[in-house]
C-alpha cells in the first residue's frame, strides 16, 4: 500500500496512479453497504456516505478540471448538492442526490479525466500541485469514511492490499508495552515545514524558530490498560481532574468510559466496528477526546506535550553536544517514505497494534509509533504559524483557527503517501469518534 517514491520526484504517471487509487478506495470503502446504510442516521459528526463520496469527487473535479483547466461541469447540479461550504450539514440527508450507480460512475469518470490530463505534454507544475492537493483531500476523507463505519457499527471494510477481517498479519517487533520516558534536550527548534518540501498544507507554512526547555516524553502512547486504570479509579467521577470545560462536556454526554467501551463478564470490552472484543491491554487507547486525554494526564500527574515538543521528539535530532540540532528529519526514522516495517498505516492491520511494535520507526530520541497507529492529541490550540500563506482551498484551515486542538502523527487508516513529520490535524476537543489517542509528558 505505501509508496517508496520520493515525494520530490513524483512523475505525472505516478500521480495519475494516485488519482485512480484514491478514487478506487472511495468505492471500495462502501462496496459492501446497502443503499440504506449509504444514507445512515443523521449524526452531527458524520455525513451520509452516498453524499460524502460525491462531495469528495466533486472537490477533485472542481479544483482540477473546472478551475485549473476551465472545463465545464460534468453534473450541472453538482454545486447544488456537493458543495460542503454552501450546503448546511443537516440538509444533506434530505437532498435529491444522483443514484448510487450514477455517483460511482462519476467517481470513475473524474478520476480518468484527471489522470488523462496529467499525461498531456502541456500539464503544468500547478496542475500537478492542485491534483496532489485533491488526492490528499481524498485521503483525509477515506480515513473519515473508515471511522464513520466504526461510528455506525458497520462491519470492518474489506480492502485490496490491506488486512482481511479476521486474518490480520502480525506487526513487526515483539509487541507488548513500552515503558519509560525519552529525554528531549532543550534549545532552539525549527517548527513547521521547509520550503523545499514538495507538498505541504497551508497550516504547516512555514518553518520558524521556537525555544524549548528540556522535557521528558513517554516513549509510547497511553495504552488501554493504563487508561482502564484511570477509569477503574473513578476518573470519570473526579471533578478535580477535568477542568470546567471538560467537566461540562463529560456531564453533557454522560461519559463514563471511552465511547466504545463496556464492562463484560470478564472485564472491559471494546466495540471493533460491529463486534465486541476483549480489551487488548497493550494497544494504545483510541477514540478518546482531548478532554478525556487532559483528565487522564491530571490524574496521572502528567501533561500533554505542546505540538512543538511533539514535533521535536518525533523528527528532531541531537546535535552531539547535548542540545537540539538545527536539522530535523522528514519522518521519525529518517527522510525515506514509510515502508512496511516503519509504521502502522494504510489499513495494514485494520486497527491498532501494541505500542511496543514497529521498533524500526523509532525517532532519534527513542519515541515509538509517532507515526501511525493513532493520532495523538497535543496541548496546543490550532493556530496559524507566522507568515501563514493560505491555500487555494480557504476552508482547509482558516475557519478552524482558534477553535480546535492539534493532533499529530497519523493513524492506522492514514495513507502513507499523506504523512510527514510536520503534518497537523485538528479537531474540536469534544470529538472522540476519530482515531485519536495521546502520549504524555512529565510535569516540569
- For 127-185, write each residue's pLDDT tens digit: 999 999 999 999 999 999 999 999 999 999 999 988 888 788 899 998 999 999 999 99
Residue 403: CB atoms within 10 Å = 12
- Is the pLDDT score of 7 beyond 80? no
Average pLDDT (257-278) is 97
* Total-model pTM: 0.96
DSSP 329: -
Distance CA 270, CA 262 (A): 6
Please give the average per-residue pLDDT across 82-98, as a whole number.
96
- How far is C-alpha 241 from the geometric centre of its chain's CA atoms? 27
Is 178 within 8 Å of 353 (Cβ atoms)?
no
Which residues are 321's β-sheet partners? none
Residue that wins the pLDDT comparison between 443 and 326: 443
Classify 360 as helix, strand or coil: helix
CB neighbourhood size of 444 (10 A):
8
SS3 content of the chain, % helix, strand, coil (to 5): 35, 15, 50
Q: Which residue has the cell 515509538?
A: 368
CA-to-CA separations, 51 to 75, 84, 102, 280, 414, in angstroms, rounded? 14, 10, 12, 35, 21
Q: How far is CA 261 from CA 268, 307, 374, in A?
A: 7, 28, 17
Residue with cell 502541456: 122
Report yes or no: 206 and 385 within 8 Å, Cβ to Cβ.
yes
Quickly state the pLDDT bin for 79 (edges 50, 70, 90).
very high
- Asked if 323 contacts 343 with a C-beta cutoff of 8 angstroms, the reply is no
**pLDDT above 90 (res 30):** yes
Calculate helix-pair angle for 224-232, 290-300, nearest 10 degrees: 80
CA distance 189 to 194: 13
Contact 224, 284 (CB under 8 A): yes
Interval 232-261: pLDDT, tens = 999 999 999 999 999 999 999 999 999 999
> Which 3 state secondary structure label does DSSP give 414?
coil
Topology (CATH) of 163-443: 3.90.1580
pLDDT at 371 exceeding the cut of 50: yes
134 and 59 in contact (C-beta within 8 Å)?
A: yes
Q: What is the gyration radius of the CA atoms in the chain, in angstroms?
A: 21
pLDDT recorded at residue 2: 34
Indicate the average pLDDT of the chain: 95
Supply the DSSP symbol for 212: E
Angle (deg, nearest 10), helices 12-30 and 49-60: 170
Cell of 207: 518553518
The CATH code for residues 12-152 is: 1.20.120.450
In the chain, what is the straight-line distance between the N-terminal and C-terminal CA atoms, in Å? 41
How far, in Å, are 4, 72, 421 from residue 210 at the CA level? Answer: 32, 47, 16
Q: Domain segments of the chain: what residues?
A: 12-152, 163-443
H-helix segments, 119-234: 125-151, 224-232
Amino acid at each position: 500500500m505505501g509508496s517508496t517514491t520520493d515525494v520530490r520526484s513524483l512523475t505525472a504517471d505516478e500521480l495519475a496512479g494516485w488519482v485512480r487509487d484514491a478514487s478506487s478506495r472511495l468505492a471500495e470503502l462502501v462496496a459492501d453497504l446497502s443503499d440504506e446504510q449509504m444514507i445512515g442516521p443523521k449524526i452531527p459528526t458524520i455525513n451520509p456516505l452516498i453524499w460524502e463520496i460525491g462531495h469528495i469527487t466533486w472537490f477533485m473535479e472542481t479544483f482540477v478540471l473546472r478551475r485549473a483547466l476551465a472545463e465545464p461541469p460534468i453534473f450541472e447540479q453538482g454545486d447544488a448538492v456537493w458543495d460542503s461550504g454552501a450546503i448546511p450539514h443537516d440538509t444533506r440527508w434530505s437532498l435529491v442526490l444522483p443514484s448510487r450507480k450514477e455517483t460511482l460512475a462519476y467517481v470513475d469518470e473524474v478520476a480518468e479525466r484527471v489522470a488523462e490530463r496529467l499525461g498531456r505534454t502541456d500539464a503544468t507544475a500547478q496542475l500537478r500541485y492542485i491534483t496532489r492537493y485533491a488526492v490528499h483531500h481524498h485521503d483525509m476523507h477515506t480515513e473519515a469514511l473508515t471511522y464513520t463505519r466504526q461510528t455506525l457499527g458497520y462491519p470492518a471494510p474489506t480492502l485490496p492490499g490491506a488486512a482481511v477481517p479476521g486474518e490480520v498479519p502480525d506487526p513487526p517487533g515483539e509487541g507488548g508495552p513500552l515503558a519509560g520516558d525519552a529525554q528531549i534536550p532543550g534549545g532552539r527548534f525549527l517548527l513547521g515545514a521547509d520550503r523545499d518540501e514538495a507538498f505541504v498544507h497551508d497550516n504547516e507554512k512555514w518553518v520558524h524558530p521556537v525555544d524549548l526547555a528540556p522535557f521528558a516524553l513517554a516513549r509510547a502512547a497511553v495504552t488501554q490498560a493504563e487508561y482502564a486504570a484511570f477509569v477503574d479509579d473513578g476518573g470519570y467521577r473526579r471533578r478535580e481532574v477535568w477542568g470546567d470545560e471538560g467537566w461540562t462536556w463529560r456531564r453533557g454526554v454522560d461519559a463514563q468510559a471511552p465511547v466504545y467501551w463496556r464492562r463484560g463478564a470478564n472485564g472491559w470490552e471494546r466495540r471493533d466496528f460491529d463486534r465486541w472484543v476483549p480489551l487488548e491491554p497493550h494497544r494504545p487507547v483510541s477514540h478518546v477526546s482531548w478532554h478525556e486525554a487532559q483528565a487522564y494526564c491530571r490524574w496521572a500527574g502528567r501533561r500533554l506535550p505542546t505540538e512543538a515538543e511533539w514535533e521535536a521528539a518525533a523528527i528532531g535530532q541531537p546535535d552531539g553536544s547535548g542540545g537540539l540540532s538545527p536539522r530535523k528529519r522528514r519522518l521519525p526514522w529518517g527522510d525515506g517514505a514509510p515502508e512496511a516495517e516503519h509504521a502502522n498505516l494504510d489499513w495494514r492491520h485494520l486497527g491498532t497494534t501494541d505500542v511496543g511494535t514497529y521498533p524500526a520507526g523509532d525517532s532519534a530520541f527513542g519515541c515509538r509509533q509517532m507515526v501511525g497507529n493513532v493520532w495523538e492529541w497535543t496541548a496546543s490550540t490550532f493556530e496559524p504559524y507566522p507568515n501563514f500563506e493560505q491555500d487555494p482551498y480557504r476552508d482547509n484551515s482558516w475557519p478552524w483557527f482558534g477553535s480546535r486542538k492539534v493532533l499529530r502523527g497519523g493513524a492506522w487508516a492514514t495513507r502513507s503517501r499523506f504523512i510527514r513529520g510536520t503534518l497537523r490535524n485538528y479537531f474540536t476537543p469534544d470529538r472522540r469518534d476519530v482515531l485519536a489517542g495521546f502520549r504524555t509528558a512529565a510535569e516540569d
